[in-house]
Every structure is written in structure tokens, then in C-alpha cells.
Chain A
Amino acid sequence: MALSVQALWDTDPDFPSTQEWKDFTSNAVRSTDNVWYANESIANYDKANLNQPKMYRWVTEDLFRKRQAKEGQTIQETAAQRVAQYQTTERKIIIDIIVDPVFAESGADQKFHTFREGFQPDDIIWLRDEKASDEIIFYRTDEKFQTSDSIVREALRAWTQRSSAGRIDLDVRVPSLLMLISYFSGNRKQRRALGKLSVYELCARFGKTIWSLVLFELSGHQTMIFGAYYLSSFGSIRNEVNKFNQFSHMRTVDTRDEGWQEDYANYIAQGYKVVVLCSLQATDEGWAKVETFYDANDVGLVILDEVDFGVHTDRSSSRVAHIIRNSEAVAMSGTNADRMNNNHFNVCRFESYTMEQMLELKHALINDPSIAHSTLQDLKDLTQNTWLDNVAVREQLGELPEMSFYQRHVEGETDMTYQKLASDPLQHEAIIRRDSLILAGADEEFPHLSLNNVIQKASNELRKMRKTAEHELLDVIEFVPYNTGVANGAIDAYGEIRQKAFDSVSFGYKVVVVHGEKKHVANREGMYTRGQSVKIENAEHYVKDVKAQALEEGYKGVWIIASSMAQRSFSIGSISVIMLSFDKGDAGGVNQRLSRGSTPFDGKTASLVISNSFAKERDDKIVMTLQKMAKARAARTGEDFYTAIREVKLATSMFRIADNGRSIQYDIDEYLAELALNKSGVEYNIARSLTKQILASDLADAFKEGRKGARNRWQTKLDSTFFDDEDDNNRNTGERKNKNEVSPILAVVQNLIDNAHLIDSLGQPSENRVGFVNSVHNICIDKEKRISFEHEFLIDPSVFYAILKEQKDIELDIETHLSLSLQEAKQEAQAIYTEGW
């Protein structure tokens, strides 16, 4: 059996591996037991360049700890074959390979090292020992070591005086192309809205670095500021700029370095495009220099990374406001990018690319790789930029783990909800314990529902769908309701019950509850010390620290329990099961949670999402994912939503396990039929959500204008979600007050939703169908359509659009509602023409 990456850890019982080493090797790919590659990409590159002269770099755990790398050369073999010849007891990890003809000459590597000693004295030291073959390079700081790919290439270019040295060709992934098309197809108002933010929420594994650099290239600007509060992405930018041929005309400068302004001026003078890496954490003095620089230079583009961390705060925002005012500005984040919609900025567009979209695209590319090429061609047609002629496109998204969805109905009291369960776990201890035992495979009545069995079933389902991915049971993360009590100990109690149950049957999982009142159990330089409170940005490391201890205690993995924490910036690759233990009404944020399973790890090819539910009816959590994937497909292909949802389902494993132990795939027709029967429920949910949004906005009066045309629902009893918690003590008074305010708006919204099919048709262009929100936008910008809308619905379509565009999730529900309605209408229409007389 092949070793997992864990074989690289804790190899010396006296010296447990550091978390840094584990993180560094978490994506490692085995060549032989003793030689590994740092990741799949390096492995493939090595195999593809068997007979090419190359330089390689490798580390062992000991070298890594000392910030050292062994750097050598070879010709007639792979780097792995060459490295295997080194006699060390430690396992070797190849971290970089550079193919270049200069290494065809024997001894070139040593000449190169000699050059580097003079060229990069602040970066490296060449450590020589007695044996001439031991070319060890010491990197002076952690950051130098982390960006060694870039540092080596800069040196190689200077030494060979070839700007292409050490570079490879860029192949862009399709999600990046799609979001570039999104950016450049924006209208002129968006595209040239200097000083206004284009906000892009780009999910984990999207590839933000390459997207940013290509966007910079296609923008035509010479200077880009790449700003961030946390600076981990700076290394990625530097490495990618130095890695690809297509970025050979780019240079980076870092505002934390001495003399960066001079470097910038020199690069610009030489005709380079320059990325200015700009720390928003700078001292006031340092920041003053940035502002002076901005005022004196033509910074055409500003990209801000991870804007939900630090960037949106008042302090950073006021800084950012200064350096975007004359530039195109893009704010990126994996989640919560809407935080940039604060008082400091004017947001001119909000775009997102979700995990559901990426999963859908992954499946689509397997069936039709030509999508990749046509997308690249679309971008070429749009931008007319010849730089793209030298760019390839990656045909697959193979690095993205497959995702399966298991709908798990938890037997229990019929009125039980996760909200109740989590509010007082001790009162419901028996349920949680029984559930834990079932998952552990220790329940005689439900052995087929054990997690191990479910994993096997999930893999079987993938095989049936002719997918090569396999599920495996590694670490588990379980999300409980977002408001599960921390201060009252509810979430800890929940975790303790699970732990006791697991321990009682030796189910080897250590339960790790993550919340802000937990204290770190280890030190991490520059981030936290033992005893400090866990924060969102270091929760991931807290779990890793606890896991390290758990493994020492003999546990085989961790079972993470989280409520609001761990939804973002939480990349633990070994998570292979994401369990959603909250109620269907709480479905928002599912995509953030399920993307926790997308972090690569040791050849992990699939993650399993388990949607727990006490309710026997359909579970919104899975349905929402399905809808989002269908929406993504419909938007990409122009198909109607009904077709899209069927196609998506065909490519995605969503199953439940019957009482007889058989797995049954989610039946999309059954689902749609059920949905059709509950159309009014869907409609009301949409209306309710939009009404709430309107009440929270300043558009309430504008909506009341439309009440003349609306159904009379004044007598409608408002459900409890319309009341603020503060009203609880005075519900009667609150109800009257709220009802007067809410009912007219609800009636107007209901009328709009009842007529969504008409509104949608009015705004649809003659070619490919657009989503409902875009259709409403089309009505807003077309005078005649606008008048038609106002005449019929008595409100300005712009106010409807303003609300809709803030409610991305609602659009999915509207699309579902519309799709069912249109599908039904078209089928009936077809029947009219086919019946005889």
C-alpha cells in the first residue's frame, strides 16, 4: 500500500514534526518511499522533462527546519531519479525543478551558486562542506525561503542574461477565464469607474493569483498595486511572476523593502510592468510613502486581496480609499467580500465564482474539454489582446476534489430540530450519543449507516457514475447551527457527548470544538502563543495543533465541531467529510462550509458532504447546492434552468441510504415534482426574504407605491420571522406596528413574484437567456420596457433591481420558480399544437 504524506511526519520519535513541516508537505506526492515531490504539478513537470537539462532543489525535514535546500543539476534522468541517488536516511522532498539548457554543462550548478553568492548576498549563503557535491543553499529568512522559487529564477535570469530562463508556459484555468470575461465585459461604467470597487468573491481553489496577474496584463496598465493586510499572497504573486514565460515582462517590488521606489522607477524605465506589493499594515510613515508614490505615478490598477481580513476596517479602508481614487480597483476575497460595501467605497459591481460553479465546470469539462478552448477564444474575442495568443488553457480541473452529497435523515422525535438539539445538548444527550454510535458503526440496528460504510457507498456511487475519484475517511468537520451557544457551553457539551460516545467504542476520533473562547495549545512564531484566544485567522492552526497532540495520544484523526468559526480561511486538507448538522432554514453559507473539503491533500480525490436532517422532507441544504450548480450551468450554457438542473444532477452524486442499506441517488424528477406541488411555498419564501431586505433598506416607501396592483393580503398573518427578537416582550404591540409596515410591501413583492414570468420575459434579450436579475436590469435600462413595467407594477424597476442584486441566493429560488412555471407552460403549449381537431 502506498504511503500517505503522514509517512513524512514524525519520523524521528525524539523530534516530532513541526506543524510548519506538515503544512509544507501536505500536498506532497510520492515518487518512491524516500523521494517525494512537493506537489502534483512538480511531479508532472519532472516526468514530462525526462531528458532535459535541469536544476532541482530538494529538502529534508531537517534541511527545511534550517531553511536550507539542496540544489543540483542533471540531464539524462528525472530529478527524482537523481535525488534518489543521494544517500540520506531522511525522506527527500523535491520542491522545485527548472529546465534550462545552461544545465547541460557539467558543473553549471556550482558556477550558478558562485554567481548567486555575489548577486544575492542578502538572500542566500552557499554552504559548502567537504564533499563538493553538497551544494546546500541557506536562505536568510523564512520569507526568502518561502519565495525561493522566485529568488532562484531571478538569479538564473541575471546569470544567463535571458529573461525566459527558468520559466514555463502558462496554462490558465477556465474559472479564471470566465471571471476575466466577467471583468472585461462589464459595461464602460463599471470598467472605467475609477475609484470605485469591483468586488469579486472567488472561492477556495479558484486561482486568484493567476487571475490577478492576467487581469493586470489585459488591463493594459503598466503599474498595479497588489494590496493586502495579511501578506501570505505576496509570495504567491512573486513566485508566479517569476515562474511563467508570459509574465517575463513583469517585475515585483515590495513596499516593505528598502529602496522600493527606486527599484520601481528602474523597472518602469526599462519598460517592465510592475506589481507593487503593498502592505496595508505599514506604519504611518511607511504608508505616507505609499500615498506619495501613488500621487506621483500612474497606478492604473489596484487589486486588494483577502479583503474580509483587515482591508474592510476603517483604518485600512481610509488608506485604501487614497490609493484607488484614480485607478480601476478590484477587491477579492474567498468569502464575505461584501464587507467592502462599507461607507468608504462605492461598489460598482459584485461578482462571484462559487464552489458550486467550479464543481459544475469540473464535470462539464470532463464531458467536453472543448469548453476550455472556446472560453479562451471568447476572452480573445472580447479583449482583442494578442498576449493571449501565447497562453494555453488547462482543459480539466482535475486538482479539484470531487464532491458527493449524502442526505442523512436522523431518526428521532418528529419535531426535533438541530436548533433545539444544539441549544441544550445535555437535554438531548441520548440522541447525540446514539447518533455518534451509529456514525462510529457501533449501533446494532443501523450498522449500514456507519461513517465507514457511508464512505464506501459514496465511492461506489462515484464508480457507478464512471468517476475515478475515491472517498476516504480522514478528518471530519461538523458544522452545528451558527448560533449554538459558546458562552453557555452548549457547543462544548455537544462535543463532549460525541467524544464520550466515540471513546466508548474506540472510534479513534479526537473531537475538537472550535470557537473564540478556546485557547491555543501551542506556540506559533509571530501568530499566537499558548493560552491566547483562538481567532478566525488562526483557528486552522489551533486545530492542527490539537490534532498533533491527538495523534500522539493515539487518535487516528480529528472530528472538528464548529458553528460560525472555521467557515473561511480554514484550510485543512485532511478534511474529507463535511457534516452539516443544522436545519434547512439555516442553509445560508452552505457553500462556504462545503468548500472546506476542497483543500487538496495527499492525493485526496473526493470529499463527502453529509447533510443531516431530522425532517423527512427534502433537505434545503443539498437542494441549494444543486440549484447553485444548475444556475452556474444555465448561465454558462444558456440552457433553461430545468435542463441545467437535470444535467448537473446527472454529473453529481447526491444520495441517501435506504433502510435496507442500499444507496439511492437523488431523483431530480421527483424533486422537481415535489417542488412543483409546493410552488406557493417557494413563492412565499421568496417574497418574505425580499420583503425583509426591503424593510432593512431605504426603499420601503418606493415599494409601497406598487400596492395598488398587488393582491390584497392585508389580512395575511405574518410569520414570526418578521418580528425582531426585541419585540418578544411586547409581541402584540410589535405585531400591529410591524403588520402595518410589512403588509403593503409584502403584497407588492408577492405581486412581483407572482408575475416573475412576465417580468422575466419582458427583460430577456433575443439571444441567450439571462438570469432573472439581469433581466430586470435590462428592463431598467430600456425606456420602453421600463415604462411597461411601471405601468403594470406601479413601481420603478430600479428599486426592484436594487433589492434583487443584493439577494444572490434569492435569485436561485426565483429561477427555480420560474423554471418550473415556464417548463409547465411550454409543455402545455406543445400539447396545444399536437392535439387533433
Chain B
Amino acid sequence: MTSLTSRAKFAAVDVYREMVKEIPQDLLSEPCVIPFYGCGALPAVLDSRRMFHNIESNKDNLFVYESNEVYNKYAQGVYMLTFMKARKGVHDYREPVDMQTFDPKFSIRNLPYQEPGQGRANLYPTLLENLKRHDYEWTADILPTAWLRGEGAELKKVRKMFLEEMGLYKITILPFNAFSEFGANLETAIYYCKKGYNGPIEINYYGSEESYEYDYRVEDQIIAPPTKEEAVAIYNFVKNYDHYKVTQVNSKAFDKVKKELSPKKDKDYPVVTLLKKKIEDCEIKYTDYLFDEDSNKHRVVTSYLAAGWGKGDKHYGNIVYVPPGYQLSSTYKYIVCDTKEEAEAVALFLKSKLVHYLAHYWRTSRTADGPQWRCVPMLDRFDLTTDDEIIEHFVKDTELQERIKNDPLHKKS
């Protein structure tokens, strides 16, 4: 997590160009507002397209503002050509800005997502709420993909705003690393809206010429893989299958014994304190207390926070079969199985290409909390030993099987 001021250096010019090139030509010279622009590159890219079409930006058709004068000063030094011409302002994040006299017709935005600091509240629902009061003909926003499928109240609220009020007509999914060079590791997309639109939504991947339309307005959540067929298939896994119940040890119970854990084997209960790829390699400590209610069960265990998220890899992390007799520290999530065979088969399944694929197009958070697993169907056969067998068991369409097997994400991992 970076501080908000780091946004001043988010010169993701290619992404901004992608956004700006979508601005309808007839609106280009109309008043545009760029609220909380963060990096001056965003207004500069708009200005660049205007100049290319011999349209001069000025204080009547370009209004940029930020939460603090430090942004304006810096941007003025670096993007002088644009910032000398534009109307500039300073406004609080939560302050509704009166733009009656400016009367913006369109807006391009890369709004801050959260308030400054670690673990702070989401800011963009409030910002969007304030901004949608203006009567824009057209808007484009860069926002996380989390709100497409996230189940939090604020995420749902944002989803509703885009779908029902703002006229969402197109989503361009950006590469996971679009902002990573600036320290922001999360999946984002550009959301294009036009006033009054209510039809199907076009999905497009950044850099790809291909796109498809899907009527997401009839779904609770938006799943946007590269093709429509895949979207249908993933919706099927989400809606029509049972999913694993993923749980964890009561953290308060674990905290009570945490300080007394000892590497000496003279106590009754072994505890997995550091998960490795095999149970034999895990770090084990011992305690006289029994705090893990499921320690007598066969379990498939994974970390709460999977590694690799920062690089765009959304797999479920280290998946390990832990036999009965071991307690777990509260930092791990697990699935309880009836038998060793089942647990080993589930572990293999959760590491398969199919699950990796589903996770990639479904997960919105690095955590291993329940909603993040809701795309993974429960395994009903424990004799599947290869990726191909698993895919062919769950997906009957051969073309789709090939897409899943050959999805570029497997190359990365």
C-alpha cells in the first residue's frame, strides 16, 4: 500500500492514452473535469490528444483539482504545458465540488481508492457518489476490478452506481502490472460510461483487438474472462456447484498458547507454525494445550495470504495435506475432508490448472476468505490425477477445455 501522494508519480501514460482515445470526438473540446488527478500525466494526455486535433485546452474547458496544493505545484513543474492553461483547484476528498459554472461534459478519472494509510476505508464510493451529481455525457474511470464481484456493501454500491446510474457500456481490463512500477499491485480496469446507456456491456482486454458483449445487468456479479464462452462457463461454476467451506482455527484460542509454544517434543500436541510443501518439512512446535477443534481430522491447509499476488498470480498459495494429530496456527485456512484419499485428491485438485484458472478470473482479494473460493466446485471424484483429467471431468466443451489448458496465466506460473 502506498500513500496517496505517491499517485503524483503514477505516470501510466499508456493506460491514460487508452482511456483518452475512447473520448467521443464530438466531446473532445467540451469542458472536462479531472478530479483528484493524482499524476499530471492524465490531464497531459488529454491535452496531447486535443493539441493533435488543434483544440486548445484552457481554463474554460479543462478543470483539474487535487486534495492539496503539493500536487498542483509538482504537476505544474513537470507538465507545465498543460497546467499553465488549465483551471486548477484544491478540494477535500469528501467535499462536493460546485461545478455549476464550469458545467463539465465529460470526465476522465483515476481516483484514489482508499484514504491515506494502511487499512483505511475505501474512498472511491464517496468520490463517485459526489461526482455522479454532475450531468456528464461521458466518463471514464480507472478502478479496481474488486467491485465487479466483491461482496462488501460498498463494492455492491459502486456496482449498482455503474450499472444503474452511470450508464456503464464498456470495461477494458488492464494488465495486473499496469501500476506496479508505481508501487500499486492490484487488478484494475477502465470503466466507460455514457449518459443513459442501459444495454449489454462490452468487455475488452487492454492491448487486444477482440471484445465481446455480455448483459451483466442481469447478474449479481461481473465475471469478465477473455471470451463470452468462458464467462458463461465460470458463471456456471459459481452458480451451479457446491463450494468448499474454508475455515480456520479460532485466533483467540491460538493466541493464548502462542507464547508458550516450544520446539521441545516433551509436550503433548504438535502445532504447525510454518507451512511448507510437505508436512514433514513444516515447522512444528509443541504445546500441552488443545486449542484446534479439528486437529483430529484430515485437512487440506493453505496460507491466509497467498504469495505471488503482487505479481498478478491469483492461485491459492501453498496447498498441503495435514493428517490428523496436528494443530494449526490461526494464520492458516483449511478444508476438512473425510479421508486421507479425499484430502490428498482435494489438495491435488486445488493445485490444478482448472482451479488456478477459475481463481484467476474470480478472485478479487489476496485473502483466502470464503468468497474467494466461490468459483471452485467441490470435487466429486478422488481418482483424478492430472490437469487434463480434472479439466475434462468438469468441462465438456473441447474448445473451452483447450482455452483453459492454454490460458496464458499458466505460462506465467
Is A758 in the interface zone, CB < 8 Å from B?
yes
Residues on A with C-beta less than 8 A from B71 are 758
CB of A708 within 8 A of chain B?
A: yes
Please measure, in the bound complex, the distance between the C-alpha atom of A832 and the C-alpha atom of B79, giving whole angstroms: 9
List A contacts of B17 (CB < 8 A).
Answer: 835
Residue of A710, A792, A822 with highest tally of chain B CB at under 10 A: A792
Nearest residue (CB) in A for B120 is: A708
User: Is the CB–CB distance between B2 and A837 below 8 Å?
Assistant: no
CB pair B13–A792 under 8 Å, yes or no, is: no
Please measure, in the bound complex, the distance between the C-alpha atom of A403 and the C-alpha atom of B229, giving whole angstroms: 72
A163 interface residue per 8 A CB criterion:
no
* Residue on B nearest A828 in the bound complex, by CB: B11
Smallest beta-carbon distance B407→chain A, Å: 32
Do A792 and B48 contact each other (CB < 8 Å), given the known contacts A710-B3, A837-B21?
Answer: no
A694 to chain B, nearest CB (A): 19
Residue of chain A at shortest CB distance from B90: A788
The complex places the Cα of A418 from the Cα of B3 at a distance, in Å, of 40
Chain B, range 37-63, C-beta contacts under 8 Å to A = 40-41, 44-45, 47-49, 51-53
Is residue A836 within 8 Å, beta carbon to beta carbon, of the partner chain? yes
Contact B73 A764 (CB under 8 A): yes
- B21 with A755: CB separation less than 8 A: no
The answer on a CB contact under 8 Å between A825 and B9 is: yes
What distance in Å separates the Cβ of B180 from its nearest Cβ neighbour in chain A? 14
- The reply to whether B45 and A832 contact each other, CB–CB distance below 8 Å, is yes
A751-B3 in contact given A788-B69, A837-B52 (Cβ < 8 Å): yes
In the assembled complex, A452 has its CB within 8 A of some CB on chain B: no
> A788–B48 contact, CB under 8 A?
no
A15 at the interface (CB under 8 A from B): no
**Which of A712, A791, A837 makes the CB contact (< 8 A) with B53?**
A837
Interchain CA distance A759-B68 in the complex, whole Å: 11
Q: State whether the Cβ of A463 lies closer than 8 Å to any Cβ in chain B.
A: no
Other-chain residue from A761, A784, A831 in contact with B77 (beta carbon distance below 8 A): A761
Q: A784: which B residues are within 8 A, CB to CB? A: 69
Contacts of B84 in A (CB 8 A): none
A711 contacts B by Cβ under 8 Å: yes
Binary per-residue interface labels of chain B (1-26) against chain A in the complex, 1 for a CB within 8 Å, 0 otherwise: 11101101101010001000100000
Identify which of A755, A821, A833 contacts B5 (C-beta below 8 A).
A755
| Inter-subunit contact A754/B3 (CB<8 Å) | yes
State which of A788, A825, A837 has its C-beta within 8 Å of the C-beta of B68. A788
Smallest CB separation, B254 vs chain A (Å): 20
Among candidates B3, B11, B51, B118, residue contacting A755 with C-beta atoms closer than 8 Å: B3
Q: Which of B2, B3, B67 has the most CB of A within 10 A?
A: B3
Any B CB within 8 A of the CB of A1? no
Within the complex, which residue of B3, B76, B116 is in contact with A761, where a contact is CB–CB below 8 Å? B76
In the bound complex, do residue B1 and residue A762 qualify as a contact, i.e. CB atoms below 8 Å apart? no
Q: How far is the CA of A711 from the CA of B48 in the complex (A)?
A: 34
Interchain nearest-CB distance for A397 vs B (Å):
34
Q: Tell me the residues in window 226-244 of chain B with beta carbons closer than 8 Å to chain A beta carbons.
A: none
Assembly CA distance A754 to B8 (angstroms): 11
Residues from 78 to 134 in B contacting A, C-beta threshold 8 Å: 78-79, 81, 90, 116-118
For the A-B complex with A759-B70, A832-B45 known, give 6 more contacts whose Cβ atoms are closer than 8 Å.
A712-B118, A761-B73, A764-B73, A789-B70, A792-B68, A837-B21
- Which A positions have Cβ atoms within 8 angstroms of B? 708-712, 751, 754-755, 757-759, 761-762, 764, 784-785, 788-789, 791-792, 821-822, 825-826, 828-829, 831-833, 835-837
Q: Which 9 A-B pairs have the closest CB atoms?
A: A761-B74, A712-B118, A761-B73, A758-B70, A837-B52, A788-B69, A825-B78, A792-B68, A755-B5
Chain B residues in the interface with A (C-beta under 8 A): 1-3, 5-6, 8-9, 11, 13, 17, 21, 40-41, 44-45, 47-49, 51-53, 67-71, 73-74, 76-79, 81, 90, 116-118
23 A-B pairs within 8 Å (CB atoms) are namely A709-B116, A710-B3, A711-B1, A711-B118, A755-B8, A757-B8, A758-B73, A759-B70, A761-B70, A761-B74, A761-B76, A761-B77, A762-B73, A764-B73, A788-B90, A821-B9, A829-B41, A829-B79, A832-B41, A833-B47, A833-B48, A833-B51, A837-B48
